Structure formats: structure tokens, C-alpha cells
Amino acid sequence: EMPHFNHTPSPYRGPSASDLFKRRKHYLPTSVGPYYTNPLNLVEGKMQYLYDENGRRYLDAFGGIATVSCGHCHPDVVEATVNQMRLLQHTIVLYLNHAVIDFAEALAAKFPGDLKAVFFTNSGTEANELALMIARLYTSCHDIISIRNGYHGNATSTMGATAQNIHKFNVVQSGVHHALNPDPYRGVFGSDGVKYANDVQDIIDYGTCGRVAGFIAESIQGVGGVIELAPGYLPEVHSIIKKAGGLFIADEVQTGFGRTGSHFWGFEAHGIVPDIITLAKGIGNGAPIGAVVTTPQIAEVLSRRTYFSTFGGNPVCSAAGHAVLRVIEKEKLEQNAFVVGSYLKECLSSLMDKHEIIGDVRGKGMLLGVELVKDQKLKVPASAEMLHIIEKMKDMGVLVGKGGFHGNVIRITPPLCFTKEDADFLVDVMDYTMLKM
Ligand code: PMP
């Protein structure tokens, strides 16, 4: 039977999706258009739900790409943001402001050891650009190692570190090396993390002068298709990089703020302490803010230089970020990500017996991926089928993301307030669309 949402119409009425689509020629003139053949016009959000111009409700299982951590327009975040907006919208790093200092202090408290120096940026890209620059300055070295299939942003150094040609455009940087992807599903060494780590040592031995500036990785590759790195990989790489004099950079843009459920930060599940951590997305529940966190000793390299960002650490985004930290704690969202995420993953995994198209179900907490294949043995990516499935799921009221190099991975990254009932509905809808293929 077809699953149905209990629709609560929103009072809002606005221009229709087709009207907006016609006027879209002045906006986003790139290949990255709306996901859907029948595009969706979103006008309102409440926690894990979104509403179109007709008041139709959608379950948001993508969360603006793992960004809406607390829920759309979470009242506490809205209140903190609006209050700060009324008080003082803009100031710069040349002056002190309590909103920025309060947030930096609260954020630093979430990190172990000496990781107590915070720089604010406007995005994940800028956080990673800064992290790579700091590593190069600190080590007086140029070589960076990142992992194939990783995504780190869309400016020069970050595109260099990104290792998927669909996201690299013409940016290829010297001194950037892409190591084998420790992907348990498709990688050459299966789940043997240490074997993949040997490739990092090989790169240092055969591709550099023997020293590197650093290594950057996501602990779970998000854009790349929710790939959990093979167990044992990160600790081994951490010690290899340290021996080569480099800094270990954890890109926590998707994996941070409790999203993985088991830990507040993704790296914590691997028993390592990075030298630099980069943050964005979930940090502001949608407010444009990112951050670099490192030790005061490493941060010293910036104090002798004029590093400057006009909007970085603006009071309004800082107030939003600070409210996010309070909400995650107050509403136990990390624990909810664990409980509901584990439940959802189990339900999705049980669909594998029924649907040959599901090749793999993976991820942790509220960072989950469902890889679609022509058949489970040969693992040929089912990319066209995926577009069909996510369109049908949207028509039935569920929004999911797409990802993976072959565009065949359904990404499930909802706001962390997602409930078991939401999970059941998502699974029913996915099941139904796959039955109707
Ligand atoms: N790192 C990771 C892991 C990401 O997923 C992204 C965004 N998808 C970025 C960096 C870049 O962040 P932004 O889009 O905010 O520049």
C-alpha cells in the first residue's frame, strides 16, 4: 500500500514552481540545476519538515546537505540570531564582540587537548583553504596528501585536494597527492585499512622529498557517497604523517556536531587527535559560517601575518552557532542521531534482501548512504535508476540527496531531530518506489 503523509497545510502561498523555473535563467546558470524533473519550490521549514508553495509537506532527509543540524528554523536558533541581528549585525576582527568570543569559547570547550584556537570563516571551503595554508606555513613544506573521492571545497587549494574530476574543473595543483581510497565496498584492499595506509607511505617515499605539509580527509566521505574509511586506516595514516613532519587535518564539515551519533566529532571514533579540524555546515544550522580549530602553537603562524576575513566570525552567525551548541546539548541530539540513525540503518539494510538494486547501506548516525547498483554481485552503478527513485520519493513527500562519483548513492543526512516515525516513513517510501521500478 502506498504510504501517505498526514499533510498539515502551511498558510503560505507564493509563486508556483513552474513560474520560478521560468525565471531561473538569471540564477544558477550552471549544470547544477534543481534535482528534479518537476522542480520543487520550498517556501517554509519547520524542524525536519519543509513546505512547498501549496502547503504540501515534505520530510527533509537531506537537511540542506547535512547542514540543518537542529531543524529548520529551530525556535532557539532563530531567537538568538534575530536578537543579535537587532543588536549588532556586523563588526570585524579588529574589534572585540561578545557574541564571537562567547562562541569561540564554547566551541573550543568541545575539543580535546590543546585544540583551543578557533578562526571563523564563511564556509567549509574557506576553512579548508585556511587549514591547508596553515599546514604549509607551519611546516615550510608544500606537499599535501588527500584521499581519492574526497571533497574539500571549491576554491584553489581545496579543489586541488578534492579528488573527483566532476568537482575539480581545471584546477590541478602541484604538490597535491591523492592516496588510494580506503573504501570497503569498492576499494582494492577491501576493509584492510592498514594496506591502504601503506599507499600514503609510498606517496611520501616516492612522490615527495620525504616530508609533507599535511594530510586532509573526511572521516566519512560525504559528497563522495557516504564512504566510511576502512577500519585502522586513519590511526595508521596519522602516525605516518607525523613521522613525515606533517599536520593531520580532519575535515569535519559533514561529520561534526554529533551527526555521526557515536561522537561529537567524527575523528573521535578513530582514536586520533588531529592537529587541525575544519568545520562548517551543521555549525550554524544554515547560517553561513565555518571554522578552523587548532592548537595555539600552530595558530602562531598566523599571528605574524595579516590574515583577514570581512565576514568571518560575524556576530549574527556566531550567535546562531552558539545557539546550535546549546540546542544539541539540551535536546540530546547527538544521542538521538545515534538511536534513530542506528534504527534507520537497520531498516534500510533489511531492504537489501528485497531489492537487488541496493548494493550497500553504510554510514553512521544521521550520515547514511544507500548505494544503488544494477545487481549486487557486479556492482555496476545504477545512476539513472537513482534519479528516478529520488524523484518518486519527492513526489511521495520525502527529500533525499544524491552523491557518489557515479551519482548512484542516496544520501540521508536529515536534521538530527529526525524521529523513528520519520525513519519508518522514509523506509516505506523507498521500499514502495523500488517495488514500482
Ligand atoms: N568539506 C566537506 C567534507 C564538504 O562536504 C563540503 C561541502 N559539501 C566542503 C568541505 C565545502 O564546504 P562549503 O560548501 O561550505 O564551502
% of the chain exceeding 70 in pLDDT: 96
Mean pLDDT for the stretch of residues 138-162: 97
280 lines ligand 1 (CB under 6 A): yes
- Whole-number Cα distances in Å, 354 to 47, 70, 359: 32, 33, 11
* pLDDT of residue 31 exceeding 70: no
Which grid cell is 117?
584556537
151 lines ligand 1 (CB under 6 A): yes
129 lines ligand 1 (CB under 6 A): no
Whose Cα sits closest to atom 3 in ligand 1? 253
Half-sphere CA count of 427, side-chain side, radius 13 A: 21
- Whole-number Cα distances in Å, 197 to 165, 223, 255, 273, 380: 23, 22, 21, 17, 26
251 lines ligand 1 (CB under 6 A): yes
Rounded to the nearest angstrom, the distance between the alpha carbon of 151 and the centre of ligand 1 is 7
The CATH code of the domain at 17-70+332-435 is: 3.90.1150.10
Whose Cα sits closest to atom 14 in ligand 1? 124
pTM over 0.90? The answer is: yes
Q: Greatest CA span in the chain, whole angstroms?
A: 66
Rounded to the nearest angstrom, the distance between the alpha carbon of 125 and the centre of ligand 1 is 6
* pLDDT of residue 366 exceeding 70: yes
Whose Cα sits closest to atom 8 in ligand 1? 223
Residues 175-215 have pLDDT tens digits of 999 999 999 999 999 999 999 999 999 999 999 999 999 99
Where do the domains of the chain lie?
17-70+332-435, 75-330
Atom of ligand 1 at shortest distance to CA of 126? 16
Q: In testing the pocket of ligand 1, which one of 151, 159, 218 has its CB within 8 Å of the most ligand atoms?
A: 151
* pLDDT of residue 144 exceeding 70: yes
Atom of ligand 1 at shortest distance to CA of 218? 3
Nearest to 255 by CA among 231, 209, 224: 224
- What pLDDT was estimated at residue 320? 98
Half-sphere CA count of 45, side-chain side, radius 13 A: 23
Residues 320-336 have pLDDT tens digits of 999 999 999 999 999 99
Q: How many other β-carbons are positioned within 10 Å of the β-carbon of residue 230?
A: 23
Residues 251-310 have pLDDT tens digits of 999 999 999 999 999 999 999 999 999 999 999 999 999 999 999 999 999 988 888 899
Does CATH place domain 75-330 in 2.60.40.10?
no
DSSP string of 224-241? TTSEEPPTTHHHHHHHHH
